[in-house]
Structure 1
Amino acid sequence: MLMAHPALVNNLIQQYEALRALHAENGSPRTRQRLEDLACSLCVTTGTRDVEAALVAARRRLHAGHGEEDCLLAT
């Protein structure tokens, strides 16, 4: 399975968590749509179907210490 770069995974997690907090305060349609888009991206990136499972998988991936060895462009 092709794995996303840890920086991308970390960025998706941070954006999702920030928007989830914002959505709790301001549930605008735009914020809700962006939150759904990020949830979908997290699921695709981690090969899961549920955003909570995606967050767990993404955090495990980051915690496992995968770094530049996963990047095909690393020198």
Structure 2
Amino acid sequence: MPHPTILRGLVERYAELSEDPGRAGALEDISYTLCVSTGTRTVEDALAVAESYLDEVRADGTPAGQPLAGDAADPGTVILTA
């Protein structure tokens, strides 16, 4: 899967292009890119997979519910004090 920011951009671009009948070629290109990016064969499946994936991850790519690096709840965090 591409980074969530990239995937979100692809979905938004698809939505923009789907409203403009004069941009059929660009819509076909973005549809293909969405399918390749999500490992699907139809744009409907690609959008469903993208939506599901984006619901599960934060913008930085970490799974929702997982502490962010540097959070006090993250056991791998090193806190330096003076």
- TM-score under structure 2 normalisation? 0.69
| Higher RCO, 1 vs 2 (CA within 8 Å, ≥6 residues apart) | 1
The answer to whether residue 20 in structure 2 is matched with residue 22 in structure 1 is yes
Structure 2 unmatched runs, 5+: 64-82
Structure 1 residue runs of 4 or more that deviate by more than 2 Å after TM superposition: 66-70
Query: Which protein is bigger by CA-based radius of gyration?
Result: 2
Structure 1 vs Structure 2 CA RMSD: 1.5
Structure 1 unmatched runs, 5+: 71-75
Give 1:68 deviation, angstroms: 3.2
- TM-score under structure 1 normalisation? 0.75
Query: In the alignment, which residue of structure 1 is the partner of 2:53?
Result: 61
Give identity over the alignment, percent: 35
